[in-house]
Amino acid sequence: MDKKLVAEPRSEFGKNVVRRLRNEGYVPGVVYSHGNSITIKFKEKEFFKLFRGSISESVIFELSVAGLDDDSMAFVKDYQLDPVTDALTHVDLFKVTKGEKIQTTVPIEVVGVAKGIKLGGVVDISEREIEVECLPKDLPEKIVVDITELLVDDSIHAKDVDLGEGVVLKSNPEGVIAACNPPKAVVEEEELEETEELEGEASEETTSEEE
């Protein structure tokens, strides 16, 4: 595996310790596996080499903890950022057990230009990630969704997406990934007509009651 993170066991805790680690270029973390956990630290710059852009749960990498002879695969389950500086302050890793399925999220990459745009439609992307279950070897780093064929009032649901062999959808299958909606002016006009129609019906009912 090309992606690898080398970590060290960590036995000191507290805000002052974390501050010192940050100053030294380290990030504190925890590795979980079936109820067991190990506290670790690793170089921040080495950690970000594993990702293209933002941190993703869909990237599986080899994890080597100094002093332990059980190199294994892992992925990011959660992480925390400093609310002021956005600096990475803590990472939770999940150790992958060989032959065992994992459930995680995969980012969605939308490609293409919807045909409905030429007809005045407006594309709305509702979801940027999708939840799946599969063996680690089958986990895609991203799911590509092509919206080229979308016409006005068309939509792509989670159940319509090709996840790849061995990958099972865990998100709501009816969840909308992308849609090509009518122009805003048309929607507002239809809403206005509907409102006027309802007001007209209400007025007729009132007149009828008075008679």
Q: Is 207 a residue whose pLDDT tops 70?
A: no
Number of domains in the chain: 2
Domain of residue 169, CATH code = 2.170.120.20
Residues 9 and 77 in one domain: yes
Q: How far apart are CA 57 and CA 128, in angstroms?
A: 13
pLDDT in tens, 74-124: 999 999 888 888 888 889 999 888 788 888 899 999 999 999 999 899 999
Q: Can you give the residue range of the structural domain that contains 172?
A: 104-186
Residues 128 and 48 in one domain: no
**Are 121 and 154 within one domain?**
yes
Average pLDDT in the chain: 84
Q: What are phi and psi of 85, to 5 degrees?
A: -100, -15
- Does 68 have pLDDT greater than 80? no
Residues 21 and 82 in one domain: yes
Answer with the one of 56, 73, 97 that is the final residue of a domain.
97
- The beta strand positions in the chain, using DSSP E, are 4-9, 26-33, 36-43, 61-65, 72-81, 88-96, 102-111, 122-125, 129-134, 143-146, 155-157, 168-169, 176-181
Whole-angstrom Cα distance, residue 106 to residue 108? 7
**Same-domain pairing of 116 and 179:** yes
Residue 187 has pLDDT above 90, yes or no: no
Q: Which residue has the higher pLDDT, 200 or 113?
A: 113
Structure pTM?
Answer: 0.70
Q: Mark whether 12 and 49 lie in a shared domain.
A: yes
Rounded to whole angstroms, the Cα distance separating 28 from 13 reads 9
CB 105 within 8 A of CB 130: yes
